[in-house]
Amino acid sequence: MKVLLLLHTEADGTLARLSLEALSTALRLGDVTVGLVGDAVQAAANLIALSGIKSIISAESPELAQSRYGTDAAAAEALCRTAGDATLIVAPATSRWMRTLPGVAHRIGAAVDAHLTSIEPSGAVWRCAAGSTAIAWKAR
């Protein structure tokens, strides 16, 4: 399965603990491409590369330093379209993504499930436990 993991950097260019937890979850789900969003993403990309991820795409711009719906949604949509073969898109449940990704899901014709703590494949069905660790959606 092709998985796109969307992560945003913190103000200092690093990744939050919640982002690293989402990375760990995504690695169990299949072939992962990481999409990074932020002002400066190189430090985060270097850290992610240590996990064995071979495909990293990014949206990097000074406009992405602060969380704003318009710029965040445009960046996330561009990354989703760039990784168009992803069947599952996962992101940490940060306030930035929780506000932005439902609109992005609508733009790309996907369904969204929020407030998940685990994502496990069970045949053709995805079982998701309730909580607040990650949000994910499966492309239609």
pLDDT of the residue at 15:
95
| Full-model pTM | 0.88
pLDDT greater than 50 at residue 125: no
pLDDT greater than 60 at residue 138: no
- What digits encode the pLDDT tens for the residues 9-53? 999 999 999 899 889 888 888 899 999 999 999 999 999 999 989
pLDDT greater than 70 at residue 123: no
- Side by side, the strands of the sheet bearing 125-138 are 55-60, 31-38, 2-8, 88-92, 125-138, 113-122
Q: Give the ranges where the chain is alpha helix by DSSP (H).
A: 17-27, 42-49, 69-82, 95-108
Taken as a whole, the chain contains a residue count of 140
Closest CA to 72 of 95, 45, 48, 42: 95
pLDDT of the residue at 133:
46
Identify any residues that bridge with 89 across adjacent strands, giving them in sequence order: 4, 137
Domains and CATH numbers, the chain: 2-138 (3.40.50.620)
- What digits encode the pLDDT tens for the residues 71-116? 999 999 999 999 988 888 889 888 999 999 899 988 988 888 777 7
